[in-house]
Amino acid sequence: MNSFVTSLYPSVDLIDPVVFKELNTDKNVYFSKSFLKAFERSNPQIEFKYITIADAEKKTIALAVVQVISLSVEGTLKNIKVASLIRKLLGLFFCNEHIKILFCGNVFLSGEHGIRCSDGVSKDEIMSQIGIALDAVAANTKPLHAIFIKDFKEESLKNTRQFLKFGYSEINVEPNMIVQLDPKWKTFEDYKNILKSKYRVKANKADSSSSSLKSRLFTEHDFETYKEELQALYQNTIDNASFNAQVLNLNTYSHLRASFKDDFIVKAYFLDDKLVGFLTALVNKDALDAHFIGLDYQLNKSHAIYPRILNDYVRLGIEKQVSSIDLGRTASEIKTTIGAIPLELSCYIKHKNPFLNSLIKPFFRRIKIKEFKQHSPFK
């Protein structure tokens, strides 16, 4: 039987830099110290924790990112398809208004950004060790209502289903929407040339309808100048999203920009000198990951702000010469009109109280995500 040593850190600053080297986090920026520190430093309302697992030779073989946050049940379920009775029962089980949840994974982002394992290790064993560690953290976190482990691709489920042994329920969540880029595309025109007529017209209309918008890339100085406007536009998007556990403090942008320079992109859109929208993205090796956006929804219909943002994500991906663009979750159907396909994601959830968890499990199985039409825009 393998021997493991589990450690818990209340701040990323307390983790030995050797840990990041042993886990080769330079291959994935989401587990780099700079990335994790940007979120921890800018969001003091969240309790951040980090679990490391070392083997018998004391070499680190896994890192799990944990956040403990408070949120409302209604806000969590507002756009999830679930019967009104089940919605009320979930609220009852979780003490109605506000609950405290321990998240394993980055609560602000969708995707596998919660657990990093070394190559060549038994992931089944790692997931079991993380299950044990999360139970230990949960036992010492009071009050606490639930534990939520997110987000896993289908290929990972053969390992992550180890969590089922710890009383978790597996649930599907909204997929990440991925655009695969052809390396032959050197310009946005190249991309449009392979669209079917109907979708090429849509792309052109998005640009023409938004032609009155002036756009530019933001610097760290711009973040400070337009801080309140950025936060307000971001809040608009949060209010329209299907699931958002926590509102990001946009000071995070400044720290990400300082650490990742031109690989962290913030593009702003102005109408008559008024900031009306923005997009953010991070280059992660061979992918461009869309992060947070914000826009004035009252102007969106007349000035096509969101369709323009989607077009510009494609432009940025081609410009950065990446192979794919991860547009994240929500607004799935409109993302398919520019070529995005869904990447299914699963999560694990359980109530901290074993008795209540046994009662609520059947309701978790009946939670369904919103359905959407999958468009096929390419010739």
pLDDT tens by residue, 42-70: 999 999 999 999 999 999 999 999 999 98
3-class SS string, 262-308: HHEEEEEEEECCEEEEEEEEEEECCEEEEEEEEECHHHHHHHCHHHH
Question: CA 149 to CA 103: how far, in whole Å?
Answer: 6
Question: What pLDDT is stored for residue 126 in this prediction?
Answer: 96
pLDDT for residue 83: 52
Give the pLDDT score at 74. 60
- Locate CATH 3.40.630.30 in the chain: 5-174+345-365, 178-342
> What is the DSSP-derived secondary structure letter of residue 378?
B
Q: Which pLDDT score is estimated for 79? A: 45
Beta pairing, strands 274-284 & 287-295: antiparallel
List all residues 6 or more positions away from 299 whose beta carbon is below 8 Å from its beta carbon. 271, 276, 305
pLDDT digits (tens, 9 = 90+) for 29-46: 999 999 999 999 999 999
What does the alpha-carbon distance between residue 305 and residue 47 come to, in Å, rounded to a whole number? 35
What is the reported pTM?
Answer: 0.91
Write out the H or E segment, with its range, that includes residue 224: helix 220-225
Total residues belonging to the chain = 379
Residue 115 parent element (H or E):
strand 115-117
The CATH class, in words, for 5-174+345-365 is alpha beta
Extract the residue ranges of the chain whose pLDDT is less than 70.
1, 72-97, 241-246
Angstrom CA distances, 291 to 128, 206, 255, 281, 282, stand at 30, 21, 15, 5, 7
Closest by Cα among 291, 290, 266, 265 to 278: 266
Q: Which residue has the tokens 């096509």?
A: 304
3-state secondary structure of 259: helix
- CATH code matching the domain that covers 178-342, chosen among 3.30.980.10, 3.30.60.50, 1.10.10.10, 3.40.630.30: 3.40.630.30
pLDDT value at residue 229: 95
